């Protein structure tokens, strides 16, 4: 007997012995009074066995024929042996015209050993990884999106740098989004404060990792290129559990950091980035552990501030046309036609797009002087006449502006850095000043 039938037997016994009214028993069992009377008759006639369902052990009237079941299982074994029940059900309906429920297919596949339920699968084993030996040997990095200011400011992202050997918070930085420029800015601040670590350990975000479908274009990301220039190894984890130290730190920060900012009346990103060093010192005093060996593996940065600027800029390449022009982010750049530059037609030049909106054009180690014409800026025809050299180009752009009058066609290139596009959108055109 089932537990439900055992409980029902106690109620029916009380009704038969007049300790309970039939109406109350119907309410307790969620049955009608007539059904309670039938159960009483069965109990008086056969005892407690009379309350056992007569259908137990018998096949359902709506069951599928055994011949149909074998036909479906043969199709699954022949074509869909490694499919899941849901996908196998869809393919049976689409390719073979077999209509059967997903749950039925799942039970049939389990009975034949073609599918193992998740409850019966062996759990995956994640062996713990020992901490690194020295400070700066491996720095785990991650971005945590959260309502950090509890509605006092818009939701933002916290970039977390934590040392693997000690569990120390090395650096924190708030940003609007988890973008390449935000990581480059945070990494620059880290290096200026601590030096260059041996390696950064991150997830497989597109900022750090190039997927296979994009591998034919660039084999390395902008962030990976910057770390390569700094001689820092970038390691991408296969799972969140692999970089569990920074993931657990994010959970702690989402509890303690939020409450600390509330008590300190920190309400904006700018205030938080200024106040964060105080929180980092208090956090490390409570939770940091000593490294196995006292050696600090951070290395100083060799170079000046200009080298640092170039390293953490967005790098791209363009090929100069015969007229010594190239286009970048829907802006036409004209290289000064000096005798030395006239030999560069058809050569590739490197574009350095700085976070503050500046653009530098390099050919090898030499900087090229350029003038720009922004096709998206409003142009006055009178100014076109004054500029002798850009007259033909500006005339062509004027016609294009008349055609591209809708706002959706006058947007910046989506492939360009987000911060750069925003700065350019509100900037003036130096060629027209």
Instruction: Please report the pLDDT score of residue 90 as a whole number.
Output: 93
The residue among 295 and 238 whose pLDDT is bigger is 295
- 109 inside domain: yes
Portion of the chain with pLDDT greater than 90, in percent:
48
If asked whether residues 18 and 86 sit together in one domain, one would say no
Q: For residue 126, tell me if it sits in a domain.
A: no
Beta-strand relationship, 156-163 and 169-175: antiparallel
Most confident listed range (1-5, 11-15, 148-152, 381-385): 148-152
Counting Cα atoms < 13 Å in the Cβ hemisphere of 40 gives: 21
DSSP-assigned states of every residue in 92-155: HHHHH-----HHHHHHHHHHTTS---GGGSPPPP-PPPPPPSSBTS-EEEEEEEE-TTTTSS--
Across the range 68-87, mean pLDDT stands at 92
pLDDT value at position 413? 64
Q: How far is CA 65 from CA 28, 62, 70, 338, in A?
A: 39, 9, 9, 88
**Structural domain harbouring 40:** 3-51
pLDDT in tens, 107-135: 999 999 999 998 888 887 767 778 899 99
Same domain? 149 vs 247:
yes
pLDDT per residue as tens digits for the range 246-274: 999 999 999 999 999 999 999 999 999 99
CB neighbours (10 Å) of residue 207? Answer: 20
My answer on whether 263 and 395 are in the same domain is no
Residue 108 lies in a domain: yes
Residues 335-363 have pLDDT tens digits of 888 888 888 888 999 999 998 888 899 99
Residue with tokens 């015209």: 97
Tell whether 45 and 71 lie within a shared domain. Answer: no
Pair (184, 253) in one structural domain = yes
Pick from 36-45, 69-78, 180-189, 397-406: least confident: 397-406
Q: Is residue 156 part of a domain?
A: yes
Domain harbouring 209, CATH code = 3.30.420.10
216/53: higher pLDDT: 53
The residue-averaged pLDDT of 208-214 equals 75
Strand partners, 319: 348
Tally of domains in the chain: 4
Pairs from 410-416 (Cβ < 8 Å, separation ≥ 24)? 410/376, 412/329, 412/330, 412/376, 413/329, 413/330, 416/329, 416/353
Give yes or no: residues 224 and 198 share one domain.
yes
With CA atoms as reference, report the closest residue to 163 among 188, 195, 185, 192.
195
Residue 265 shares a structural domain with residue 379? no
CA atoms of 294 and 166, how far apart (whole Å): 11
Kindly tell me if the per-residue pLDDT of 421 is higher than 50.
Answer: no
Structure tokens at 4: 């439900």
Q: What pLDDT, on a 0 to 100 scale, did the predictor assign at position 432?
A: 37
CA–CA distance, 346 with 322 (Å, rounded to integer): 7
Beta bridge partners of 352: 315, 360
Query: In terms of domains, do 70 and 44 share one?
Result: no
Tell me whether residue 299 is in a domain.
no
Interatomic CA distance for residues 154 and 421, integer angstroms: 21
Q: Return d(Cα 418, Cα 345) in angstroms, integer.
A: 30
User: Both 206 and 86 in a single domain?
Assistant: no
**How far apart are the C-alpha atoms of 346 and 421, rounded to whole Å?**
27
Asked whether residue 307 is domain-assigned, the answer is: no
**176, 279: one domain:** yes
76/166 same-domain check: no
198: in domain: yes
Supply the pLDDT for residue 244.
86
| Structural domain contains residue 304 | no
β-bridge partners, 202: 236
pTM of the model: 0.64
Q: Examine the domain organization and report whether 347 and 389 are in the same domain.
A: yes
């Amino acid at each position: 007997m089932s537990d439900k039938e055992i409980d029902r037997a106690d109620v029916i016994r009380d009704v038969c012995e007049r300790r309970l009214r039939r109406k109350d028993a119907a309410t307790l069992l969620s049955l009608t009074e007539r059904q309670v009377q039938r159960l009483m008759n069965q109990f008086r006639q056969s005892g407690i066995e009379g309350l056992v369902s007569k259908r137990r052990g018998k096949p359902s009237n709506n069951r599928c024929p055994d011949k149909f079941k074998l036909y479906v299982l043969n199709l699954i074994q022949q074509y869909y042996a490694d499919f899941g029940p849901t996908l196998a059900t869809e393919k049976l309906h689409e390719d073979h015209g077999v209509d059967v429920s997903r749950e039925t297919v799942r039970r049939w596949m389990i009975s034949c050993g073609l599918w193992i339920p998740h409850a019966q699968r062996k759990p995956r084993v994640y062996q713990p990884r020992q901490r690194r030996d020295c400070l700066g040997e491996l720095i785990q990095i991650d971005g945590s999106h959260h309502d950090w200011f509890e509605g006092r400011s818009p939701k933002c992202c916290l970039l977390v740098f934590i040392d693997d050997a000690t569990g120390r918070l090395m650096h924190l930085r708030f940003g609007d989004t988890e973008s390449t420029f935000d990581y480059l800015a945070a990494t620059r601040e880290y290096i200026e404060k601590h030096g260059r670590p041996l390696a950064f350990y991150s997830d497989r975000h597109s900022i750090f990792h190039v997927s296979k479908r994009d591998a034919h274009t660039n084999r390395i990301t902008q962030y990976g290129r910057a770390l390569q220039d700094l001689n820092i190894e970038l390691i991408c984890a296969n799972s969140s559990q692999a970089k569990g130290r920074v993931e657990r730190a994010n959970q702690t920060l989402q509890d303690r950091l939020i409450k600390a900012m509330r008590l300190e009346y920190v309400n904006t990103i700018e205030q938080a980035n200024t106040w964060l060093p105080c929180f980092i010192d208090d956090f490390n005093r409570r939770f940091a552990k000593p490294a196995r060996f006292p050696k600090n593996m951070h290395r100083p940065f060799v170079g000046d501030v200009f080298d640092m600027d170039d390293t953490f800029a967005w790098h791209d390449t363009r090929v100069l046309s015969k007229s010594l022009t190239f286009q970048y982010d829907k802006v036409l750049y004209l290289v000064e036609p000096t005798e030395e530059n006239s030999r560069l037609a058809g050569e590739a030049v490197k574009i350095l797009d700085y976070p503050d909106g500046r653009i530098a054009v390099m050919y090898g180690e030499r900087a090229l002087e350029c003038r720009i014409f922004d096709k998206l800026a409003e142009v006055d025809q009178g100014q076109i006449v004054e500029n002798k050299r850009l007259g033909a180009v500006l005339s062509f752009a004027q016609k294009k502006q008349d055609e591209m009058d809708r706002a959706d066609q006058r947007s910046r290139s989506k492939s360009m850095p987000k911060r750069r596009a925003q700065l350019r959108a509100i900037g003036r055109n130096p060629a027209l000043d």
